[in-house]
Structure 1
């Protein structure tokens, strides 16, 4: 990505695209160091289909924290699935990071 995401929602969308492409480098680079795993194995990654943003709280270009609730659809083992999560983000040194989320 040439320009870093300016908002928490933009970061959420870029991370969804990274899951679709099975790009662990972008996912790890945008994960906050306090909660980032040592690595990601996306070998069993489902086929991600669509992303719907349900709600955002703060997370704008001048904020330091934000929340994005989303619903993502995927296909795994021939079945359609839905993941709904309320994700928390922080902005440090001008960059947004995913911290964690609560799966609904």
Structure 2
């Protein structure tokens, strides 16, 4: 669907969503769920898990020799914004990617 919804942002969105999913798999026990929604000017991706502590999702600055810790920095550059939501059964780490509106595309 991303090829249809946002072909010009496909690579950025896929890479950003990949980072969200990798973080959920590495840092939570599961289960995880991916939800992608189309809004007029944004694509919003949510990766949901059962971990109930949203304050543990933080942007950090790794040392040059660190093996990891750059996923949220990358997401910070690719997405318009990212945020954490509390859900009924845990939390969701979400990212919103700007995309041209249908009206802008047809011009």
User: Which is greater in Rg?
Assistant: 2
Asked if TM exceeds 0.5, the reply is: no
- TM-score w.r.t. length of structure 2: 0.32
**What is the TM-score normalised by the length of structure 1?**
0.32
Higher share of residues assigned strand? 1
